[in-house]
Structure formats: structure tokens, C-alpha cells
Amino acid sequence: MTAFMNLVAGLNPVAAAGVVLVLVGLWGVLARPNLFKIIIAFSILETGVNMVILSVGYIRNRTAPILDSAADAVTAAERMTDPVPQALVLTAIVIGLAVTALMLSYAVRLRSGGGSSSIEAYGEEKW
């Protein structure tokens, strides 16, 4: 039991929450036939992936990557987190917003064109 407790204590809570969100989003994409619910599941999955990427750059007991008078440049690498995952996630959020808007516009167009919001109704369509 103590080995399990040590394992749980060593987990990064952001990474664990991100993995849970990825799994929930993946389940929503695969199990739901409604287009709008699939789009929401994609957004949840994207949020989970962003959280996992952020957790890669997080190191406990380190500060934000901001150089100022309180942080000297010599010891900055040992006291600060990695800023690259943060920049990647910021870019991914903007791209994810555009992709979600595009998916929603396609779903609304399909629905308003006299179709259904169920993915099963478009099973015989040829691309």
C-alpha cells in the first residue's frame, strides 16, 4: 500500500487531469453519434492534450520564466520552468479555437441544409 501512495504522491496533478480529459474526449468522439457532441468532445480532448503538454514543462519549486531584477541570468536556468511548452499551448489554443469554429460551421450547415445532426445519417455519403 505504501508503494501505491508513493506513486500517487509523485504524480503531477496537471498531467493526471489532462490524461483524464483526453480519455473523456476520446470516449465522446467514439461513442456519440451527434455531431455537436462530437465537436464538444474534440474540444475536451484538445484541452486535455494542452494540459499534458503544459505539465511537461512544469517542475516543482520553480518560478515563472521571467527575468527581472529579482532573478539573475546566471541561475535563471536552475530556478525557472521551461517557457517553450507554454508558448506551444498558447498557439494550440488559438488554432483549436479556429478548428472548433470551422467544425461548428460545418455542423450548422449540414443541419440547416435539411440534414440531421446525427453522424449515422451521413453513412452513405460519398466524398
Spell out the domains of the chain, with CATH numbers in brackets: 12-60+77-115 (1.10.287)
* pTM, rounded to two decimals: 0.79
Buried b (16+ CB within 10 A) or exposed e, 34-46: bbebbbbbbbbbb
Q: Can you tell me which residue has the cell 443541419?
A: 111
SS3 32: coil
- pLDDT tens for residues 112-123? 877 777 777 777
Please say whether the dihedral angle defined by the alpha carbons of residues 78, 62, 82 and 6, taken in this order, is positive or negative.
positive
- pLDDT tens for residues 55-108? 887 777 777 777 776 667 777 777 777 788 888 999 999 999 999 999 999 889
% of the chain residues with pLDDT over 70: 91
Q: Specify the pLDDT at position 126.
A: 59
CA-CA distance, 39 to 42, in Å (whole number)?
A: 5
Does the pLDDT of residue 24 top 90, yes or no? Answer: yes
Q: Would you tell me how many other CB atoms lie within 10 Å of the CB of residue 115?
A: 14
Listed residue (97, 123, 126) closest to 39, CA to CA: 97
- pLDDT tens for residues 33-60? 888 999 999 999 999 999 999 888 777 7
Listed residue (19, 83, 97, 74) closest to 51, CA to CA: 19
C-alpha distances out from residue 51 to 2, 41, 58, 87, Å: 28, 15, 10, 13
